[in-house]
A = this chain, B = another copy of it.
Amino acid sequence: MQSGAADARLDFWFELASTYSYPAALRMAATAAAADVNVRWRVFLLGPIFRAQGIDTSPFNLHPAKGQYMWRDVERVCAELDLPFRRPEPFPQPSLLAARVALVGLAQAWGVAFVCAVYRAQFGQGHQIGEEAVIGDLLADIGVEPGAVLEKARSPGVKAALRSETAEAQRMGIFGAPSFATPDGELFWGNDRLEAALAWARRRG
């Protein structure tokens, strides 16, 4: 089915502790606008997907040469985009609370601003995104009152919704982040495939 460029759509699947999701998220607005593609931001957790493979940490921690390469490569990618980069310790950061808050925000108007703030704090400044106080400060910084949001993020409904999004990612064959999915079922993995995913979305989505 051919569709006009104005209808082109792409799902952007990201994990808040994922290194390469940081540059993807921070360049998404401008890159997607230039391609005239509407992007839906979808947060999920990689932890359960890795655990289903019998892996209990990031693959970058399991394979030292790959990990060493990744840290240098992300640093280069960020420099190219004029994004600050600082390696967070520990890595990966616990992203569960931030992901639940992001899910609340993505159903409201401030989700993308919050997600970008989390990435900047974590990979630009080395902040601990697993801490509730850090998340509260990030919410306040973007003009959102933290109290009610943090309470809602811990509600059974939001917890179930995040589990459901993660299950959907797994069902689609997603195994890493960032990933991009078109309405006709094509999957692209990695920050450096964003342009290919946008082009596909325009041609076929």
Contact = CB atoms under 8 A, between A and B. Distances in A.
Interface in A56-100: 63, 65-66, 68-69, 72-73, 76, 80
A193 interface: yes
How many copies altogether? 2
A108 interface: no
A193 B80 CA distance: 13
A143 interface: no
In this complex, the member of A53, A65, A66, A188 whose beta carbon has the largest number of chain B beta carbons within 10 angstroms is A65
Given A190-B192, A192-B190, A192-B192, A173 B69 contact: yes
Nearest to A195: B192
B189 A69 contact: yes
B73 A188 contact: yes
Contacts of A24: none
24 contacts: A53-B63, A63-B175, A65-B173, A65-B174, A65-B175, A66-B175, A66-B176, A68-B173, A69-B173, A69-B175, A69-B187, A69-B189, A72-B186, A72-B187, A73-B188, A73-B189, A73-B193, A76-B186, A76-B196, A76-B200, A80-B196, A190-B192, A192-B192, A192-B193
